[in-house]
Amino acid sequence: MNTPQFLTVGIVGTGAMGRGIAQLAAQAGSTVRLFDTQPDAIGKAQAALGAQWDKLAEKGKLTPEAAAGHKARLKPAAALADLADCDLLIEAIVERLDVKKSLFAELEGIVQPGAVLATNTSSLSVTAIAAGLKRPARFAGYHFFNPVPLMKVVEVIAGLKTDPAVCEALSRYARQLGHTPVQAGDTPGFIVNHAGRGYGTEALRIAGESVADFATIDRILKDQVGFRLGPFELFDLTALDVSHPVMESIYRQYYDDPRYRPSVITAQRLAGGVVGKKVGEGFYRYVDGVAQVAPELPVPQVDDIPPVWVSTRAARRAELLQLLKDLGARIETGQSPSPQALTLVAPLGFDVTTVAVVERLDPARTVGIDLLVEDAATKRRVLATNPATRADMRDAAHALFARDGKAVSVIRDSGGFVTQRVVATIVNIASDMCQQRVCTPKDLETAVTLGLGYPLGPLAMGDRFGPTNVLEVLFNLQTVYGDPRYRPSPWLRRRGAIGLSLLHEEA
């Protein structure tokens, strides 16, 4: 075993996060001193970790000698004074600025001057926590994610007065723990919680407009983009008593920037105790830990599908025409649709209503299809009606696009459907993080793919769907909603204008 960067590590707080960090540190060869204000919690943490190592030894994944060594390196600390010999002290306690500041003020008077003090805060300012310290240069953020052994990324955050050598030492230690460090500026949410704002908050806006129900939004984002969990499944997993306060904290710390605006939906559900899987009810109801999801509506039975006319301004028009041919549709090729035709539009960012008005189409016969993502790359097609769309035209479009067995969701009118809105918001927030130099593009991509499990990093996602397409979606969303939430980041706007990858960092 290599000599660990920090020989003796103190952990304050023995909840799931503290235990996870203690486990990694002991496995890396550090002596770990555990402290908690509840004395019995220390023994429980030691017992839980010991049982875990014993089980690994029984399965042959760890030698008995290694398990015994790990357990021997876990030491209880009866008082904060017992942490005096630690060269690294990590706090993993309640997310309250006053409590953290008080703790570190006390710890600074106990440890040696050369010791590093680190906070595992997920949303509070590292600079603010260190504000009352005599040696703020020795203080940094060290943000792990739950479950710590499995989430292989750790954010290393420098406060305004943090010595860069401290961040370098913490980064080296993170690698010894088997994790990937990413360097973050001291901004609200750091990297992962900042970059993750778009996914949940935009999905909540879509649900709040009654565009689609929670399950449909989840299905669309999983099947069209490849997210492993839909936003509402994710909310239920993390629980609203955790995720909603983080949304509010980041929003307030950015002085109510509309990009990060929380939702009344989660505020209300949190107030009502409907917080997620752990209580058996959230956006879904759970029976024996399994979400109860209503089945999708069956494909309508339509005896005679009308001829189809495709807008000349449709996104991926040639691809859409070929798809219609493959599905056996009767395609009209005139400059305008016949009075019987099902009219298809495929806008980027605009809603179906706006397109029907601008193109002087009969809204009663007009249906939209989302083609931000090429059809061959998706498991689901998404159609949108407008308030005047006739039921027979809606059903005909649904039946037609389901002919080859691919899943189809029909939603109410929305600028940017579902996928366009969520993807554009994710890409825009990530672009602005790079504009602010919260982190490097490379660290952003690493943090998000490891910390959030996205199928692509947000900048790679922007490149995948095209920066110019994402810009078009954002500009048109601004027109539809009049909300500065959708204002494009300069990073995205400039790179889109000159055809440059969003991952490109200026010299």
Whether 202 is catalytic is no
pLDDT for 342: 98
The catalytic position among 143, 179, 194, 244 is: 143
Helix (H, G, I), strand (E, B) or coil at 383: strand
* pTM for the model: 0.94
pLDDT in tens, 138-193: 999 999 999 999 999 999 999 999 999 999 999 999 999 999 999 999 999 999 99
Other beta carbons less than 10 A from residue 207's beta carbon: 20
Residue-wise pLDDT for 427-437, tens only, equals 999 999 999 99
Active site residue 193: yes
Question: Is 233 part of the annotated catalytic residue set?
Answer: no
442 closest CA partner among 428, 460, 426, 427: 460
- 30, 193, 386, 469: the catalytic one is 193
- What is the distance between the alpha carbons of residues 401 and 228, in angstroms, rounded to a whole number? 25
What residues contact residue 354 under an 8 Å CB cut-off, 6+ apart? 347, 415, 479, 480
Length of the chain in terms of residues written: 507
Return d(Cα 59, Cα 57) in angstroms, integer. Answer: 5
- Calpha distance 128→100 (Å, rounded): 10
Phi, psi at residue 91, to the nearest 5°?
Answer: -95, 130
Angle, nearest 10°, between helix axes 490-498 and 467-481? 130
At 213-257, the pLDDT tens digits run 999 999 999 999 999 999 999 999 999 998 999 899 899 999 999
Catalytic residue at 249? no
| Cβ contact 469:244 at 8 Å | no
